[in-house]
Amino acid sequence: MAVHLRGVTTVLLPGTGSDHEFVQRAFSAALHDVGASVLTPPPQPHRLVEAYREDLDHAARAAAPMPIAVGGVSIGAAVAAAWALSHPHRVVAVLAALPAWTGAPEAAPAALAARYSAKLLRRDGLVAATAQMQASTPNWLAEELTRSWAGQWPWLPDAMDEASCYVAPTRSALSGLTVPMGVVSATDDLVHPVDVGIEWVSAAPRASLRTVTLDQIGTDPAVLGAQCLAALRDAGA
């Protein structure tokens, strides 16, 4: 059954260290094109996951009795999917961009990167750590993170540590997802491996995957939202 998002409140959550501005640019155009009402709450780095859950709860209460759609990027996608699993009658779809791991993070590249960045920020401070990040990161991503890191300082290391320990939905849990899920992964993203996207869609009963490249995201972040919605249409077909 096709998913119709016209008039549906759709809540998108940022990835660790990123922010609502990037998520807005990534998803708003595609969602507005289908008539959805888009909410991109800013992260609260001193209470990252708890605040994300509260944002979803608040949006669901405000939209009731209509269900909402939920999603996000990386840790945001994981929290949104977990919320959907625990609120099956309050959600109509999941949009998951760049999922980072399934179940416990263990040695997932994104978790390792978050722990390393948190350590660097605490040891060297924001300015020095940002300079090191810029030296090893594609220009477009460095620009995004330079802005978002500054906006979340000084609690940013806490958010990174919290995210690195977050237990995402397991394959078993995803098998119980009752709504369609659109997933997008980048084929050349070593931090958010495409294999994780494949794992998510193979576990969920009604899910589909579209892929992009990091260069495509850098050129226009809206490709994430467009491909997520394309995957959602595939899943709901």
**211: helix, strand or coil:** strand
Structure tokens at 15: 């990835």
3-state secondary structure of 213: coil
User: What span, in angstroms and rounded, lies between the C-alpha atoms of 234 and 37?
Assistant: 21
pTM: 0.97
CATH number of 9-103+168-236: 3.40.50.1820
Q: How far apart are CA 142 and CA 1, in angstroms?
A: 40
């991503």: which residue's tokens?
141
pLDDT at 1: 60
Where do the structural domains in the chain lie, given as residue ranges?
9-103+168-236, 109-161
Alpha-carbon distance 110 to 77, whole Å?
Answer: 13
Give SS3 for 231: helix
CA 112 to chain centre: 17
Flag residues of the chain having pLDDT under 70. 1, 237
- Placement of tokens 């300079």 in the chain: 131
